[in-house]
Amino acid sequence: MSLTTPYYLIDKSKLLANMEKIALLRERSGAKALLALKCFATWSVFDFMRDYMDGTTSSSLNEVRLGHERFGKETHAYSVAYADYEIDEVVSHADKIIFNSIAQLDRFADKAAGIVRGLRLNPGISSSSFDLADPARPFSRLGEWDVNKVEPVMDRISGFMIHNNCENGDFDLFDRMLGVIEEKFAPLLKKAEWVSLGGGIHFTGETYPLEKFAERLKRFAGEYGVEVYLEPGEASITKSTTLETTVLDLLNNGKDLAIVDSSIEAHMLDLLIYREKAKLSPNTGPHRYMICGKSCLAGDIFGEFDFENELKVGDRISIQDAAGYTMVKKNWFNGVKMPAIAIRELDGEIKTVREFTYADYEESLS
């Protein structure tokens, strides 16, 4: 099947590999796994993912509603701050609500009295190598850290969310940081009924010691008598999706450049934010090209890659690992055509589930 590029292509067979590891971890550890919608919210594959996961977790009213209506199962609501006008609707879609601060708990505890309530804790450590994404950065607004302030509100909450892992594929680092969390928050953990350890743990990676991870989670749950939750985002969808593009033009300004019908700023914004290059596979051969986006941004560059053959106009280039923090951040910068979303079924059939038109662009403005 030939689709007009650009489009995101979700491969269910690759998605399945992640889902099976999540299911195995759930079985071995007893922990529950919630899809982090801030990372991936393409609901056309939710019916596939829900057989392997326990529900969703969110960061806004829109996400909690999407999780409730499109995924179902258990629905956790979290936000850095809830507004007065949205709290009632948030509660109507959630099974659990997690407040970021004691002040927010004080303000909305009564509104949320009909569902399970929790609080975010900040242990002051994280695995993030980017200050921009570090939840434990100096003066962080993400969660409470003072045990003495939290203990008096334990009568209004039953659990905690602690998110301090970021792109962490190192089990030993996870283990050490969890030990610090236990040492710092033991008095609170012993009074809790559930604890979410958040996302950012790359336990679906090929070399990750899944059995050791499961044992550590099980031991943590037993030590404190809590139900453990994980919130995998990228771990759920890693390596499952490509951004399919086509070469539109070739030029040389001292380097060979290839311009494609996509844009890093519009379609893979996280790469630009964190100054990382895209992934291509294979990335070998004697012909090196800088792959560039078609927007007017001078730095709209996917990276430099090696190819076996010289590129020509019309060639297809597949940007790898293009699911996490991409479709949820895509935008209309320059009015560049929004990539369609397609799914490759387990039998190999490719179907388009969403296309975007001029009307979508126009209606995104006013």
Residues 291 and 338 in one domain: yes
| Beta-sheet pairing, 7-11 with 241-252 | antiparallel
Determine the length of the chain: 366
Any domain includes 2 = no
Residues 124 and 176 in one domain: yes
Any domain includes 4 = no
Phi, psi of 343 (to 5 degrees): -125, 130
CATH number, position 36: 3.20.20.10
Q: Are 326 and 270 in contact (CB under 8 A)?
A: yes
| pLDDT, position 101 | 98
| Beta-sheet pairing, 287-292 with 194-196 | unpaired
Domains contained in the chain, number: 2
Last residue of one domain, picked from the residues 236, 262, 294: 236
Nearest to 33 by CA among 71, 82, 84, 86: 71
Any domain includes 3 = no
**Distance between CA atoms of residues 164 and 45, nearest Å:** 27
Residues 221 and 338 in one domain: no
Neighbours of 140 (CB within 10 A): 13
Any domain includes 318 = yes
Q: Which residues of 316-348 are buried (b: 16+ CB within 10 A; e: fewer)?
A: ebebebbbbbbbbebeebeebbbbbbbbbeeee
| pLDDT, position 33 | 98
Residues 171 and 56 in one domain: yes
Q: 160: which residues sit within 8 A by CB, 6+ positions away?
A: 118, 119, 120, 121, 185, 188, 189, 192, 194, 195, 196
**What DSSP assignment string belongs to 113-132?**
TTSEEEEEB--S----S-GG
pTM: 0.95
Residues 123 and 216 in one domain: yes
pLDDT in tens, the chain (366 residues): 579 999 999 999 999 999 999 999 999 999 999 999 999 999 999 999 999 999 999 999 999 999 999 999 999 999 999 999 999 999 999 999 999 999 999 999 999 999 999 999 999 999 998 999 999 999 999 999 999 999 999 999 999 999 999 999 999 999 999 999 999 999 999 999 999 999 999 999 999 999 999 999 999 999 999 999 999 999 999 999 999 999 999 999 999 999 999 999 999 999 999 999 999 999 999 999 999 999 999 999 999 999 999 999 999 999 999 999 999 999 999 999 999 999 999 999 999 999 999 999 999 999
Residues 206 and 282 in one domain: no
**Distance between CA atoms of residues 262 and 244, nearest Å:** 9
Residues 90 and 149 in one domain: yes
**Distance between CA atoms of residues 94 and 76, nearest Å:** 6
Residues 114 and 190 in one domain: yes
Q: Is the four-CA dihedral 120, 126, 128, 134 of positive or negative sign?
A: positive
CATH number, position 275: 2.40.37.10
Last residue of one domain, picked from the residues 236, 251, 281: 236
Residues 212 and 336 in one domain: no
In this structure, the dihedral spanned by the alpha carbons of residues 305, 310, 311 and 312, taken in order and rounded to 10 degrees, is: 170
| pLDDT, position 218 | 98
Last residue of one domain, picked from the residues 236, 265, 292: 236
Q: Is 306 a known ligand-binding residue?
A: no
Any domain includes 83 = yes
Neighbours of 306 (CB within 10 A): 13
Q: Which residue has the tokens 């948030």?
A: 90
55: left (phi over 0), alpha (psi -120 to 50) or beta: left
Domain range enclosing 99: 12-236
| pLDDT, position 2 | 75
Residues 290 and 269 in one domain: yes
Q: Is 270 a known ligand-binding residue?
A: yes
**Distance between CA atoms of residues 95 and 91, nearest Å:** 8
Residues 129 and 16 in one domain: yes
Any domain includes 99 = yes
**Interaxial angle between packed helices 210-224 and 171-189, expressed in degrees from 0 to 180 and rounded to the nearest 10:** 10
Looking from the CA of 30 toward its CB, the CA atoms found within 13 Å total: 14
| pLDDT, position 1 | 53
Residues 230 and 257 in one domain: no
